[in-house]
Amino acid sequence: MKDKLIVALDVETPGKALELAKQLHDIAGMFKVGSQLFTSAGPQIVKDIIALNSKVFLDLKFHDIPHQVAGAARAAAELGVSLFTVHASGGAEMMQRAVDAVSQKGETKVLAITVLTSIDATILSEIGVTSSPDDSVLRLAKLAEAAGVDGVVASPQEIESIRRTAPNLLIVTPGIRPSTSRSEDQKRIATPAAAIAAGASYLVVGRPITGAANPLEAAREIVAEMASNMNRSEERN
């Protein structure tokens, strides 16, 4: 079950990131390197985490002309990351070029960002999108599947509808908050148990672990909740 947990290393320094990666290596299946950490530490932080025999999810949300995204995708694969993200809103050609760029680069998988978990219907309307978050996610997930990506990033609220619409896609789910945590800037959230029950492939958890007084214990509690839910599901079946 620990393989389903991705710990988001959204911290200020590479030293702190590596400290957490070493501490959580045995309980986390992967570590997310996002824009804050990558901007401050560069590709070396990815190499350092992989050198710990850990996997990396590079979450830079590439969104550019297809040629630029293809080049970035190739570079990500050459770094040895297991997953990386592009924005589905960049269109089918952009996503296809990213997929093509990594097709000969081992096990690196491409994920398409649908609608960020910090975005709700009000924010969508501000940028001229009239459909609901759920409808927007499903439209982008279908486009991503047609473009050949391996999976999507979507909030817990859309997991079940994506599973029905595109059952073969990986679903990576941020916005995971244990019942004792604050939602902070996330708007479309769920508990670890609810997200696993809905069909998430991976859960991305950041501040509830990295901001805890004891990050290792916090991570263990989340994995235990995920495992408990899986056991109940198996008993019902």
Catalytic residues: 61
Residue 13 exposure: Cα atoms within 13 Å on the Cβ side: 3
Q: How far is CA 136 from CA 84, 90, 140, 213, in A?
A: 21, 14, 6, 37
- Let me know: does 183 contact 189? Beta carbons within 8 Å: yes
C-alpha–C-alpha distance, residues 202 and 190, integer Å: 13
Helical segments of the chain, H only: 14-24, 35-41, 43-51, 66-79, 92-102, 121-126, 133-147, 159-165, 192-198, 207-210, 215-236
Short-list 18, 11, 8, 73, CA closest to 37: 11
